[in-house]
Amino acid sequence: MNDNSFWLPLEVTKKLFYNSHAQDNTIKSLRELATVAEKEGFKLVHLALAWVIKYKHCDSALIGARTVAQLEDCLKALELVAKWTPELEGRVNRILGTNPTPRMNFLKWAPYPPSRLVAEEEKK
């Protein structure tokens, strides 16, 4: 990316949008997620695809497979989807910091029902 490709100069963009600690935090989170996936007998890619598939408002998961072998590997995520539990989702969401905040129904001035399993289980 050069300075002319965006409306802000590159150095200004870096200062505004790049957190020097973000890379370390991302690597730490990915390592923790890989550990969770391995404990379940899967790879990180399978965990990521299963997490997306289990989101009830998601209609599809894009995998970008270019070979039959990659497609077959990605399809193993369906095995993890079948084993998915609120406890597993809770572990993933806590690592990612994505326990969802319920969307607000402003007509009723109350939150909509949660859209992720962990949020539903934490209510119980």
Put residue 52 in one of left, alpha, beta given phi > 0 → left and psi -120 to 50 → alpha.
alpha
Tell me if 64 is assigned to some domain. Answer: yes
CA distance to 10, 38, 69, 100, 101, per residue, from 90 (Å)? 38, 16, 30, 11, 14
Tell me if 1 is assigned to some domain. Answer: no
Tell me if 105 is assigned to some domain. Answer: no
What integer pLDDT is reported at residue 1 of this predicted model?
Answer: 44
Closest CA to 88 of 47, 43, 53, 58: 47
Are 100 and 119 in contact, with CB atoms under 8 Å apart?
Answer: yes
Query: Mean pLDDT over residues 6-32, rounded?
Result: 75
pTM, rounded to two decimals: 0.66
Tell me if 5 is assigned to some domain. Answer: no
Total of domains in the chain:
1
What integer pLDDT is reported at residue 44 of this predicted model?
Answer: 95
Tell me if 71 is assigned to some domain. Answer: yes
Structural domain including 78 reads 10-99
Tell me if 113 is assigned to some domain. Answer: no
pLDDT tens profile 47-96? 999 999 988 777 888 888 999 999 999 999 999 999 999 899 889 988 98
Whether the pLDDT of residue 41 is over 80: the answer is yes
Q: Which residue has the tokens 């969770």?
A: 36
